[in-house]
Structure 1
Amino acid sequence: MNQSQYPCSNCGANVEYAPGTTVLQCPYCGAKTPLQPTGVQVREHSYAEFAGLPRKPIATLAPHVFKCRGCGAVTESDKLSDRCQFCDAPLIADAAEGDMVTPEAVLPFDLDRARMREALRTWASSRWFAPNSLKKVTEAETARSTYLPHWTYDAETTSAYRGERGDHYWETETYTENGETKTRQVQRTAWHPVRGVVDRSFDDVLVAGTTRVAPEHLDTLEPWPLPEASAYRPEYLAGHETLRYDVEPEQGLTRAQETMQSVIRDDCRRDIGGDEQRVHSVDTDYRAVMFKLMLLPVWVAVYLHGGKTYNVLVNGRTGEVAGERPYSALKIALAISLAVVVIAVIVVLWALHNGGHQ
């Protein structure tokens, strides 16, 4: 298979993309190789045209077979970029080879390891009731800089809806209390059937292209500065892992449309107006559906506590942190004990204060 490795012009070792820069840097001698502009722009592709092409499911594709040009070792991996298992040299597959969808855009890493550790340190220090050993996550030298595949979808939509508009009004109600007749104002709602049509354009609706990371953690890492993405070039992957997508574009579109429908229903409610709204049905026509595969940067740190492994993710552009954390039973018990003591002291002081005034 075709693959890419980039030798250092000074010492011959393989260079890596340096986060936050526009250079490839040698991890041994420090020599830098500037990335020259290519003039290539990020493009989106017609989903209708793509759907008509013959293609194999991603699950049926064989892993990439890399042959390291440094030590000659052969490495099999289902990742788009990886490291040689013997000499740790960066390995990058030819993304255009085979039946996979080729990445169109990449959001390069901005946080280097030092800034990633600082983000983890801030996050760990704010976790109440976490064991003290959680601070070790900031020392995670095994944290991996990983590009995660995501799909983005654009669409023009027109939606015809049926529902009801609720308008509030007030009625005077008579009631009896303790044998006395009284009146009060009571809010009522008058419901009227409505129909309408709303239009909405969607741009870059983001859907995770991997199932290896918990969706709730990826959601926490948002928002992503997607307009800052660059056209895909393999140099950005040098020295960083890149997961191959395992969510097919068809699955991604279904999830994107679910996100779109939530927005469209809000549009319908605004169009209905009134004080309350009921949306009974929405029939949406999707036009000019475009999509692309994009790679987003995430630092993945692994933390072991009590025999259980926890994953912590750091957004490689913004420093936002998401992940699992253990709880310290000792800290929780001490907090409960302290709360009980404080309450007891307050009760005693209150009793003494009131007893002194009798």
Structure 2
Amino acid sequence: MTDQTAAAGSPSSYACAGCGARVEYVPGTTVLRCPYCGHQRQLAAAGRQVREHPYAELAGLLPRKPLAGVDGHVLGCERCGARTQSSALSEMCQFCGAPLVADVTAGDQIAPEAVLPFEVDHDGVRTALRRWVSSRWFAPTSLKRVTEAESLKGTYLPHWTFDARTVSDYDGRRGDHYWETETYTETVNGEQQTRTRQVRKTRWRSASGTVRRDFDDVLVAATRHLAEAQLGKLEPWPLEHVVPYQPDYLAGYQTLRYDTEPEAGLATAKTVMAEVIEQDCRHDIGGDEQRVTSVDTRYSDITFKLVLLPVWIACYLHGGRTWQVLINGRTGEVIGQRPYSAIKIAMAVAVATAVLAVAILLIVQSRAS
């Protein structure tokens, strides 16, 4: 049985119309479903497109407070009436387990513009975890018996995306390789012999120019709860599939509030852009080698948005210890902690040492003959 779509803009209720329990967003669909009786409700149509906000208008979006001074959201549970103050945008009621989603339009922070909904469900997590543990080199054989997570939490993590047009003036040097014939002497069987060989040299000359590039959706993590390098390993994200933010996508999941300001996010994004721009400069210089000594970049048409990305945070038990992994809730990519087998590593080192010893012996024998 399926409810009619709720009217766009109406307050969200997550009480199940079938049994009174709760409804949650179902990954890979556009419905909310009760995990107990299966009653479903269709998500409302967004009625708008995902927008890119001009960065120049950031100061006028709202009277933002410093992050340290932002109060938590007060989340009221419609099922049991409990009220919870939380820094998260969504979570589960600690008393009855009903989904709680904050009103992001009533706060001191920038509201999410878009969300990339979960597509990997619990079965997909099991499949991804089994595939991951079975492909770990130098892991204990017993690790392959791990097929279930001891704990599993679906979490939306905030990220900034930035677009920009850039024009970069650079100075550098271009190196072109050429070959010269070099004469040298060596002793062969006690006699001095003159020989020649080709020696590669590099001719350097000054280079300068201008490169242009348009950047689209440069992604920067907006949370410090997980290491940025760790989150980077979950990429790429199919950002072309983001949809306009709706609170219903958050029902049944935890959603972290951003704790990195967009100004700091842009500074990080510019370092990412700078690496790409330097490669553009090297390509423009040409030649066999390039040295870029200075780059002056001008940015225009900078836009940004806050997007929520889906991650499963899982823990599994092995060897009496808890190990954490992160699973991309859209692609199933898995990263995380794993045990190592000292025996397998020792065997691999022994084999590599034996192979190296045989190779050295063969080289010595060939020279002696």
The normalised TM-score by structure 1 is 0.89
Match of residue 135 from structure 2: 126
AA matched with 2:160: W
- Between the aligned partners of 2:349 and 2:163, the Cα distance in structure 1 is 55
2:46 paired with 1:14: no
The one-letter code matched in structure 2 to 1:75 is T
Where does residue 356 of structure 1 map in the other structure? none
Instruction: For residues 306-330 of structure 1, give each alpha carbon's deviation from its aligned partner in whole angstroms, at most 9, with x where no partner exists.
Output: 6654320111111111111122335
CA displacement 1:6-54 (0-9 Å, x = unmatched): 2222222221100111101011210111113222110010111104564
2:239 is the counterpart of 1:226: yes
1:266 and 2:246 equivalent?
no
Task: Supply the RMSD in Å over aligned alpha carbons.
Answer: 2.5
5 Å matches for 1:169-180? 169-178=178-187, 179-180=192-193
CA distance in 1, matches of 2:239, 2:267: 21
Contact 1:3 1:93 in 2 (8 A): no
5+ residue gaps, structure 1, are 348-358
2:176 maps to 1:156: no
> Is 2:81 aligned against 1:72?
yes
Deviation, 1:214, is: 2.5
Tell me the residue number matched to 2:117: 108
Q: Deviations over 1:99-145 (max 9, x none)?
A: 11110010000011011111101101112333456457532252001
Look up the SS of the partner of 1:152 in the other structure: strand
Which of residues 67, 72, 89 is equivalent to 1:63?
A: 72
Q: Following the alignment from structure 2 to structure 1, what is the Cα–Cα distance between the partners of residues 193 and 354?
A: 45
Within the candidate set 24, 39, 43, 1:31 is matched to 39
- Indicate which of 258, 279, 296 corresponds to 1:245: 258
- Percent of aligned pairs with the same amino acid: 61
2:337 is aligned to: 324
Query: 2: CA distance between counterparts of 1:107 and 1:177?
Result: 68
Report the residue type matching 1:49 in the other structure: E
1:158 maps to a residue whose letter is V
Shift in CA distance, 201/343, structure 1 to aligned 2, threshold 3 Å: closer
**Helix, strand or coil for the counterpart of 1:264?**
helix
Q: Single out whichever of 254-263 and 139-148 deviates more from structure 2.
A: 139-148
Cα gap change, 1:115/1:3 in structure 2, threshold over 3 Å: closer, same or farther?
A: same
TM-score, reference length from structure 2: 0.86
Instruction: In structure 1, give the amino acid aligned to 2:290.
Output: Q
Q: Describe the SS at the equivalent of 1:6.
A: coil
CA distance in 1, matches of 2:177, 2:285: 14
